[in-house]
Chain A
Amino acid sequence: MTNTIACVEKADVILVTGSNTTENHPVISAGIKRAVTRKGARLIVVDPRRVKIATFADHWLRPNLGTDVAWINGMMQVIIAEGLYDRQFVEARTEGFEALKQVVAKYTPEYVEGITGIPAADLAAAARIYAGAKVGNIVYCMGITQHITGTDNVKSLANLAMLCGHLGVEGGGLNPLRGQNNVQGACDMGGLPNVFSGYQAVTSEEARRKMEAEWGVTELADKPGMTVTQMLPAAHDGRLKALYIIGENPLMSDADIQHAEKSLQHLDFLVVQDLFLTETARKADVVLPSKCFAEKDGTFSNTERRVQRVRKAVEAPGEAWDDWQIVARVAGRMGYAMPYRNAEEIMDEIRRVTPSYAGITYARIEEEGLHWPCPNPEHPGTPVLHKEQFTRGRGLFHAIDWLPPAERVDDDYPLYLTTGRVLYQYHTGTMTMKSEGLMDRAPESFLEISLRDARVHGIADGDRVAVTSRRGTIHLVARVSSQAVDGTVFIPFHYAKAAANQLTNAALDPIAGIPEFKVCAVRIAPAA
């Protein structure tokens, strides 16, 4: 997030898109709902489902799946045509405005209605509200990123925020909500193929020299490695021989599960380190038991870049170890000593090599976490990014045209399917499904479908149905719901039985490498 979680309560206009906030980030949704009900903020929700947060909105815009760039361009067309943009901000802090203006010119509300299905007048009204905000805040989640055009979608939202001068201000900003507790931290720490910790590029000679000196090694690889969405195919065709997986369950979370499973089978050696014998761990040659959050010390970095303490409360079961300890001992056996005695010593090393974390000590975050960048021990942390200028200096507008999703409905597969989460389950369910209470509330997968679609397909609430895409078929219970919009069905992806990702499309965003989980075409029929 460019801003903080608390910022939503300081905004007078909030635009939420591609986020089922009340179910996936309930505590942030409470802040949005408070802003609306108690502080008079205006809320615009753009989402293909009538999600609960939409019931709090002044305007709920319903785009067809995979048409985000179109409606965002449409809003910008209105804002530019009506002169509602922040001229001062655009002139002083951005570049590329003319190119943007040219591209969005054709995205009139009427043209956009043809693509997105959003009534032209509604889109224009929402655009005026966002542009007219004193402080406008954009909140988005995987509904924006999990598309082949995910990177374009995010850039388009950034265009919109810059155009209206809503970046770098308290209360505003462009705020992605991270799905998992430490996605932010995993990225910050260099859990990515192209960067060391603190986003220092592996291609940078200087960065490599620095790490080599700290780590006491030579010849660090200077080319970016493979992303997870490249590793699986590489395993499939034999280029990748061994995979070491820590705390992840790609066999459930990958788009197109069957393909992922075959890929792992082709490996010579698979190690999985986890709390449970997950679907992925079952395929491993060696499984290593690790501790859970309640059993270890360390830090997580939340979605607002706030580094917070994790503390040990109970002993681990059996012989489970800290994840760092396991890795350190493997390293030791391979001839490289990692003699850390505790997590804090690791943090000290992180601080030495990671400028944005340099000022973050355990002592400083004892009571309340700090936002990186925090370059030295006196620095108060950075709750709001881009206050004076952008990282690259001037903010660059990206002129982007809308591209249709990889898969579209046709006669054989007449319905769109989108996937997501439910309140009572988390990710692939390895943790939440151990809770009787949560299972009582959300015991099994379901197909969310509108009343009309259900009638058309001869399905009643509670019926078992077969859902088929070009990649597979799953069976589940139909739930007729007013959250569903005609023509689009929804399935949560948590459940191994009736796994939604048997159906989804593994087509990737070419830049972010994120699969298009949010759009595929399916047909449904009453289960035999």
Chain B
Amino acid sequence: MGDHDMLVMNGNEFTIEPGETILDLARRQGIEIPTLCHLKGATPTGACRICVVEVEGARTLLPSCTTPAAKNMVVRTESPKVVEARRTILKLMLASGNHNCAARGSDEGDWTSFQLEVEKGDRSEELCPVWGDCRLQDLAYRYQVTGEGLPRTAIPYPLEDVNPFIVRDFSRCILCGRCVQACNEIQVNKAISFGFRGAGTKVVAAGDNPLRDSDCVFCGECVQVCPVAALVEKDVRYRVRPWETTTTRTTCTYCGVGCQLRLHVKDGRVVKVSGVEGVAPNYGSLCVKGRFGFDFIHSPERLTTPLIKEDGAFREASWEEALDLVARRLESIKAAHGSDAIGLLTSARITNEENYVAQKFARAVLKTNNVDHCARL
């Protein structure tokens, strides 16, 4: 161990790995430093300053996400000074815009007028759509702060929802910049960036246009990384609450990348899809088809019963009848014309297990090698 650099964090000594930041080291050691803007895989920006820590000898608190871990540092991640700084940051965030969950707090009965204001901009009488699934709310509880006592700063930008997939609610944006990083550094779509300055700062798409008139390709990476309610899927907003859903991990059904995704299910229906973070091949990223193209699952046009054609028209049939007919016809064609008069097209859309069974059926039962699938087409 002698040739490793060491530092002290919260009274314990740790070795430093080359190139790591204070935050990296803490995470590696299971020490929780809260972050809002930090995004794995993107350049740290230090924008939100929630991750500040106290380093002995430093004049100010330092953002742990951008400060390299250095030899002999003495770091405190939850000192009174650190906690105070985090509380101030959280308070300012909660006081700006329409944070109408309990984390906002109520100023002497002023809640009602505040809520009425929010409803005007938000077109809903309910409390915030991501209540219960919000990083800011979590941190507000953890550090016991509300926006109380500070005047609410109004946000001059109206909601934008003129596209089929994403609602942008600037009134709940905390300007952490995760979406900007995700769009520019992870998906590299370069659709959004910070626009305007000072108090008027806003995340803009192509010269402050709606997303649909920008380079946005609706991959939804920005929605997935947004820690608050500023970016939410349109079909989920005010319709699906996190506690109403269960999730199942699976593999995307569209292209050959095979993205790992989670199907969020409410009342037996898939209502949302998110990317699985931290695992290959997609590490949380998806494209518009994988993330938003799931309506077909519950389409009323799905086939629900076997169909048999009679006199040129389909009629519904039982499985019994349909399977009997298929088996009988295949048998008789095989008997009359031989096995090679039958072909089977299996599919690039179904599972390995199903493909295996299909080709086995052709070879072992029909006794033909006329097996193929349509990938050539």
Chain A residues engaging chain B, CB cutoff 8 angstroms: 4-6, 22, 24-28, 30, 33-34, 37-38, 56, 177-194, 196-197, 202, 211, 215, 217, 219-221, 223-229, 231, 234-235, 239-250, 253-255, 268-269, 271, 274-277, 281, 284-290, 292-296, 298-304, 306-315, 317-324, 326-331, 333-334, 336, 338, 340, 343, 346-347, 349-350, 367-369, 423-424, 426, 430-432, 434-438, 440-441, 512-515
- On chain A, the residues within 8 Å of B363 by CB distance are 190, 196, 202, 211, 215, 220-221
Contacting pair A368 B323 (CB below 8 A)? no
- On chain A, the residues within 8 Å of B367 by CB distance are 219-221
Contacting pair B352 A189 (CB below 8 A)? yes
Q: Is B370 an interface residue (CB 8 A)?
A: yes
Contacting pair B255 A304 (CB below 8 A)? no
Nearest CB in chain B: distance from A46 CB, A: 20
Chain B residues engaging chain A, CB cutoff 8 angstroms: 163-165, 185-188, 212, 217-219, 234, 247-260, 263, 265, 268-270, 279-282, 285-290, 292-299, 301-309, 314, 317, 319, 322-331, 333, 336-337, 339-365, 367-377
List 5 additional contacts besides A219-B367, A225-B372, A241-B337; criterion CB under 8 Å. A228-B376, A242-B329, A244-B362, A275-B302, A286-B308
Task: Give CA–CA (A438, B218) in the complex, Å.
Answer: 10
Contacting pair B250 A181 (CB below 8 A)? no
Task: Give CA–CA (A28, B186) in the complex, Å.
Answer: 11
- On chain A, the residues within 8 Å of B296 by CB distance are 275-276, 292, 430-432, 434-435
Task: Give CA–CA (A290, B306) in the complex, Å.
Answer: 9
- On chain A, the residues within 8 Å of B351 by CB distance are 182, 185, 296, 298-300, 310, 323-324, 343
Contacting pair B297 A309 (CB below 8 A)? no
Nearest CB in chain A: distance from B19 CB, A: 15
- On chain A, the residues within 8 Å of B265 by CB distance are 313-314
Nearest CB in chain A: distance from B246 CB, A: 8
Nearest CB in chain B: distance from A312 CB, A: 7
Contacting pair B293 A247 (CB below 8 A)? no
- On chain B, the residues within 8 Å of A220 by CB distance are 363-364, 367
Task: Give CA–CA (A181, B357) in the complex, Å.
Answer: 18
Task: Give CA–CA (A304, B106) in the complex, Å.
Answer: 54
The closest CB in chain A to the CB of B307 belongs to A287
Nearest CB in chain B: distance from A51 CB, A: 13
Taking each of B258, B302, B337, which has the highest tally of chain A beta carbons within 10 Å of its own beta carbon? B258
- On chain B, the residues within 8 Å of A338 by CB distance are 357, 360-361
Nearest CB in chain B: distance from A129 CB, A: 21
Contact flag A327-B361 (CB < 8 Å), given A5-B280, A426-B293: yes
Interface of B: prevailing SS = mixed
Contacting pair B374 A250 (CB below 8 A)? yes
Task: Give CA–CA (A301, B330) in the complex, Å.
Answer: 31
Task: Give CA–CA (A27, B284) in the complex, Å.
Answer: 10
- On chain B, the residues within 8 Å of A179 by CB distance are 255-256, 348, 375
Nearest CB in chain A: distance from B67 CB, A: 21
- On chain A, the residues within 8 Å of B322 by CB distance are 286, 288
Contacting pair A276 B365 (CB below 8 A)? no
The 8 Å CB contact of A343, one of B251, B285, B353, is B353
- On chain B, the residues within 8 Å of A248 by CB distance are 345, 347-349, 373-374
Contacting pair A33 B188 (CB below 8 A)? yes
Contacting pair A27 B281 (CB below 8 A)? yes
Contacting pair A314 B331 (CB below 8 A)? no
- On chain A, the residues within 8 Å of B357 by CB distance are 323-324, 327-328, 338, 340, 346
The 10 nearest A-B residue pairs measured at CB: A318-B304, A302-B258, A178-B256, A298-B351, A225-B369, A437-B164, A247-B347, A33-B188, A26-B287, A289-B303
The closest CB in chain A to the CB of B255 belongs to A25
The 8 Å CB contact of B250, one of A26, A187, A311, is A311
The 8 Å CB contact of A302, one of B256, B308, B314, is B256
Contacting pair B301 A276 (CB below 8 A)? yes
- On chain B, the residues within 8 Å of A27 by CB distance are 257, 259, 281-282, 285-287, 290
- On chain B, the residues within 8 Å of A431 by CB distance are 253-254, 293, 296
Contact flag A285-B308 (CB < 8 Å), given A26-B219, A277-B301, A336-B364: yes
Contacting pair A289 B287 (CB below 8 A)? no
The 8 Å CB contact of B369, one of A182, A224, A434, is A224
Task: Give CA–CA (A338, B349) in the complex, Å.
Answer: 22
- On chain A, the residues within 8 Å of B256 by CB distance are 25, 177-184, 302-303
- On chain A, the residues within 8 Å of B359 by CB distance are 189-191, 196-197
**29 A-B pairs with C-beta separation under 8 A:** A6-B281, A27-B281, A56-B188, A182-B348, A191-B346, A191-B358, A192-B372, A194-B369, A196-B363, A220-B367, A221-B367, A221-B369, A224-B369, A225-B372, A247-B350, A248-B345, A250-B374, A277-B301, A292-B253, A310-B250, A314-B265, A320-B302, A324-B353, A334-B327, A423-B289, A430-B296, A437-B164, A437-B292, A438-B289
Nearest CB in chain A: distance from B350 CB, A: 5
Task: Give CA–CA (A285, B363) in the complex, Å.
Answer: 23
Contacting pair B333 A268 (CB below 8 A)? yes
The closest CB in chain A to the CB of B188 belongs to A33
Contacting pair B295 A436 (CB below 8 A)? yes
- On chain B, the residues within 8 Å of A24 by CB distance are 255
Nearest CB in chain A: distance from B333 CB, A: 5
- On chain A, the residues within 8 Å of B188 by CB distance are 30, 33-34, 37, 56
The closest CB in chain A to the CB of B306 belongs to A288
Task: Give CA–CA (A228, B367) in the complex, Å.
Answer: 17
Nearest CB in chain B: distance from A233 CB, A: 12
Task: Give CA–CA (A179, B376) in the complex, Å.
Answer: 10
Task: Give CA–CA (A503, B296) in the complex, Å.
Answer: 28
